Amino acid sequence: MKLIGITGTNGKTTTTHMVEKILNDAHRKTGIIGTLYMKIGDHMEKTLNTTPDTIQLQRYFHTMVTHGGAYAVLEVSSHGLDMGRVRGCDFQTVVFTNLTHDHLDFHQNMEGYRNTKELLFAQIGNSNRDMLKKAVLNADDEASSYYAKRTSAQIVTYGIRNEADVRATQIQNMREGCTFHVETPWGHGDFSLKVHGVHNVYNALAAMTTCLLEGVTLEEIRRSLHQFAGVHGRFQEIETGRRFHVVVDYAHNPGGLKATLQSAKEITSGKMICVMGCRGERDRLKRPLMADIAASYSDYVLFTTDNSFSEDPEQIMAEMLGGLTSHEAGNWEVILNRKEAIQRAVELAGDEDRIIITGRGHETRYVAGSQIESFSDEDIVLRSLLDMEQGIQMMTPEL
C-alpha span between 65 and 38 (Å, rounded): 13
Question: Looking at residues 231-246, what average pLDDT do you find?
Answer: 90
**pLDDT above 70 (res 199):** yes
Confidence of residue 101 (pLDDT cuts 50, 70, 90): low
Whole-number Å distance between alpha carbons of 142 and 148:
10
The answer to whether position 399 is within a domain reads no
330 and 263 together in one domain: yes
Q: In terms of pTM, does the model score above 0.75?
A: yes
- Total residue length of the chain: 399
Q: What is the pLDDT of residue 135?
A: 94
Same structural domain, 180 and 247: no
Domain boundary among 199, 227, 255: 227
Tally the domains of the chain. Answer: 2
Least trusted range by pLDDT, from 222-226, 230-234, 336-340? 230-234
Among 227, 260, 295, give the residue marking a domain's end. 227
- Beta strands 354-358 and 245-249, pairing class: parallel
Phi and psi for 338 in degrees, rounded to 5? -65, -40
Same-domain check for residues 277 and 156: no
Q: Which one of 146-155, 218-227, 280-289 scores highest in mean pLDDT?
A: 218-227
- State which residues form the domain around 62: 2-227
Q: For residues 256 and 216, state if they share a domain.
A: no
In angstroms, the CA 60 to CA 89 distance is: 12
pLDDT at position 104 over 90: no
d(CA 213, CA 92) in angstroms, rounded, equals 10
Q: Is the dihedral of CA 267, 232, 290, 12 positive or negative?
A: negative
Is residue 366 within 8 A of residue 256, CB to CB? The reply is no
Distance CA 86, CA 16 (A): 16
What pLDDT is stored for residue 350 in this prediction?
Answer: 92
Are residues 144 and 268 located together in one domain of the fold?
no
User: Which amino acid, one-letter code, is at 247?
Assistant: V
Contact 193, 182 (CB under 8 A): no
CATH, residue 250: 3.90.190.20
Final residue of a structural domain among 200, 227, 254: 227
Closest among 48, 43, 92 to 68, alpha carbons compared = 43
Q: Are 312 and 183 contained in the same domain?
A: no
The Cα–Cα gap between 147 and 334 comes to 42
322 and 242 housed in the same domain? yes
Please indicate, yes or no, whether residues 284 and 223 belong to a single structural domain of this protein: no
